[in-house]
Structure 1
């Protein structure tokens, strides 16, 4: 591991001399300036600007535990049995209607999306439900087909500022939809996105329910890693995205989860050099989490960050990512969100108490070789130093974690159709292997996943 670290640092430091000789990415300062155009001024009308589109996704995953069984399934007599494998195969479809904005100083619009899922694998033992992949009854019997209203909202827009009220899709560093299943999650509440400046935008939002990926009903928010299952009635967020230089983007957010925690986030991404010769991309993500209110999650004082350094030469990108958790509990986030922008959030989140992790990854983009849309990737990540023995709360089951380690590697390929009637159709295949010490929570397993997504436009 020490050799891995020194090698990654040497590659990063050595890149500066090469980058200096390339045609550099512009480091020009961008003064803060108001936009000279207004999105609302371009409104074409409620009917004239409407669209009807959607997508259908075929989602398949096969998992195999390589040590102890990781899942259970119900037999017909109601007894629960261990299993070393789990298969989930679901066809998810989305039909989305969006009106145009009415004309005038303030424009109004609506959006609605119907979600539908069909369980292509319906064997109880195979699915090993209930889980968050295939919707089942409480006894693990799969529901063959189900639908729900995934999005349903009203929008009001003034200039370049839009207020959305209702069930919606949101993407911020701490409240973000997660789309890694057949259907994505969404949130019920109110959200304001303001982009009145050329290089600065502001987000404000408050939400009281989440629509999970594999459930028909709305749910209260709960945390991803809590062992007690406590719930909260509200999560609110505010943030700023700012681009001070052409090469640098930054984000600063705060989120208040009622009676859980206050969480603060800073993120930055910087590009130096020319990818045709050599470019260095640096990414920083930092989260600070502290308890608040009635402390349903107990005492929390957690600082977690990741730093990634990526070198790109034409079709090739090599990245080293360091991640560290400073706290006696998991770095935690809200369940059914993608509110973890850390570099080493993979099959495992590498977020155990006091955990350190390093990832090395390689991406090959086949566009320079005449096959645009085709990519290959390979990575290896290792986590160590997991120590929960100093934790004194009750929300997390970490006291037995003492020096735990784990590692993960994966290989994948993806292709996106570039033109024709199937333009933007994508197919991705991944194989991931995770190996863990006895008490580490993710277990030892292999997973093969194959996902095909076909978008379509009707109107």
Structure 2
């Protein structure tokens, strides 16, 4: 009976595979399918801290070039891809402390930030049917390993990855990376030993998608992720979207001691419901963290961090604060508006209010925090500056006094402003 079930499953997988178009068979060639692009990014962040810490500010101009060849024709296609990064500091030298949350330009022992940084990377890739194997420098984008591209220059990782789309609706990913390049410097070694990743996403229906992933960061933690997204069409211009994201982390005892954590486990999840009607959207979300410590992610191991990517937090209530402290519960109400309906296509606005409470301060009383987030985005629709993108966002964060205590050091009051201007250029 078991053999029969396995055989039926194998036949089903073969049938699904045969129904998919073969990407490699459709290859036009190494040169013919090649692409190259350059992104010009001018970025500014300022954090006005309200208590014992100095203000934080950095401003820079970045150049992000990417090139990707096609695959050679045949059963096994071979190709290459690479990137080149350069950034020059416009402001943010002596007088503004480093601030891990900004990190445009790493500061040396003297306290001065670098004047400019450059870094490059390359990878070789192989494709059979709809499965691609890559080795080299990459920018992985997965729920348990998401590179940070929300600052001036992006992070990158070095290792091997496999992406497979052989079955209609199913995407599988597996990877092992052994080096990480910090976004604010030219060096590649951040003390990461290895991170192994496996998981996939399956689209059960056009409006229902589920993702399961797991990761193992050597000597740091094991992390498991579940994501479910469902979109229900109510009418022609109305929809309801439900989005669930959750992580379960088991932390290595060595890292618990190194990072000064109170415990070795965390479970955090969020559920967001968004009702969209015409140009408007309203979001209500709840997020909850449980376990013996808060949710751990990102930063760099040579600085006491995890090393699994600075954006590895697919949660609803993540803005300036991530609302991810030990035992924290948070609620959000948000609103979005598309000005295209009012004659200004390309302009959008979003605002959100998030409040968190029940933070465990281990003897200092309940910790609370709240944030107001605002963001304008504009994309030029036509003319010489077509596709130019401007993003202006601000946050106002306020936290209870006990969260600034030396034994907690979780949050401080502050106002944040970010201005990003990006212009993408397609070279070929």
TM-score by length of 2: 0.87
In structure 2, the residue matched to 1:321 is: 285
Match of 1:332 in 2: 296
- Among candidates 348, 351, 358, match of residue 324 of structure 2: 351
Q: Give the structure 2 partner of residue 69 of structure 1.
A: 52
Cα deviation, residue 233, structure 1: 0.7
Q: Which runs of 5+ in 1 are unaligned?
A: 1-31, 71-82, 221-230, 390-399
Q: Deviations over 1:44-96 (max 9, x none)?
A: 22222222211010001122112x132xxxxxxxxxxxx3x222101111121
Q: Report the counterpart of residue 415 of structure 1 in structure 2.
A: 378
How large is the Cα RMSD of the aligned pairs? 1.8
1:366, CA displacement in angstroms? 1.6
Secondary structure of 1:343's aligned partner: coil
1:446 matched to 2:415? The reply is yes
* Residues 104 and 153, structure 2, Cα contact 8 Å, conserved in 1: no
Please list, as runs of the form range in 1=range in 2, the aligned pairs for 1:101-116 lying within 5 A after superposition. Answer: 101-116=71-86
Matched length:
391
Name the residue aligned to 1:51: 35
CA distance in 2 between counterparts of 1:275 and 1:374 reads 24
Q: Please identify, of 421-430 and 246-255, the stretch whose mean Cα deviation from structure 2 is larger.
A: 421-430
1:303 equivalent in alignment to 2:254: no
Residue of 101, 104, 124 corresponding to 1:133: 104
Q: Is the 8 A contact 2:361 2:367 kept in 1?
A: no
1 CA distance for matches of 2:364 and 2:180? 31
Tell me if structure 2 keeps the 8 A contact 1:328–1:387: no
Corresponding position of 1:119: 89
Write the distance in 1 (CA, Å) between the matches of 2:203 and 2:364.
Answer: 41
Which one of 240, 243, 249 corresponds to residue 283 of structure 1? 243
**Separation (CA, whole Å) in 2 of partners of 1:153 and 1:401:** 50
| Whole-angstrom distance in 2 between the partners of 1:266 and 1:345 | 17
1:294-346 CA-to-partner distances (Å, cap 9, x unmatched) read 64335522211101011110110000110000112011123243111011111
1:28 aligned residue: none
- TM-superposed CA distance for 1:250, in Å, is 0.7
Is 2:88–2:117's contact at 8 Å kept on the other side of the alignment? yes
From the superposition, tell whether residues 217 and 303 of structure 1 become closer, same or farther in structure 2 (CA, over 3 Å).
Answer: same
Q: Per the alignment, in what secondary structure is the counterpart of residue 368 of structure 1?
A: helix
Residue 143 in structure 1 maps to residue 114 in structure 2 = yes
Q: 2:92, 2:326 → 1: CA distance? A: 38
**1:183-216 alpha-carbon deviations (Å, 9 max, x no partner):** 1111111111101122111000111111111121
Matched, 1:432 2:395: yes
Question: Structure 1 residues 265 and 451 mapped into 2: Cα distance closer, same or farther (>3 Å)?
Answer: same
Matched residue, 2:367: 404
Task: After superposing the two structures, state which structure 1 stretch, 315-324 or 371-380, moved more.
Answer: 371-380
Shift of 1:276: 3.9
Deviation for aligned residue 1:408: 0.4
Residue segments in structure 2 that go unaligned for 5+ positions in a row: 1-14, 258-262, 300-308, 404-409
- The answer as to 2:63 corresponding to 1:93 is yes
Between 449-458 and 43-52, report the one with greater CA deviation.
43-52
Q: Secondary structure of the equivalent of 1:348?
A: coil
CA contact (8 A) 1:93 1:117 kept: yes
Residue pair 1:58, 1:451 contacting (<8 A) in 2 also? yes
Q: Check conservation: 1:261, 1:291, Cα contact below 8 A.
A: yes
Partner of 2:302: none
- Cα deviation for residue 410 of structure 1 reads 1.5
Alpha-carbon distance, 1:420 to partner: 4.1
Distance in 1 of aligned mates of 2:376 and 2:201: 31
CA distance in 2, matches of 1:130, 1:107: 44
Match 1:177 to one of 147, 162, 168: 147
- 1:130/1:138 contact within 8 Å kept: no
Q: What is residue 206 of structure 2 aligned with on the other side?
A: 246
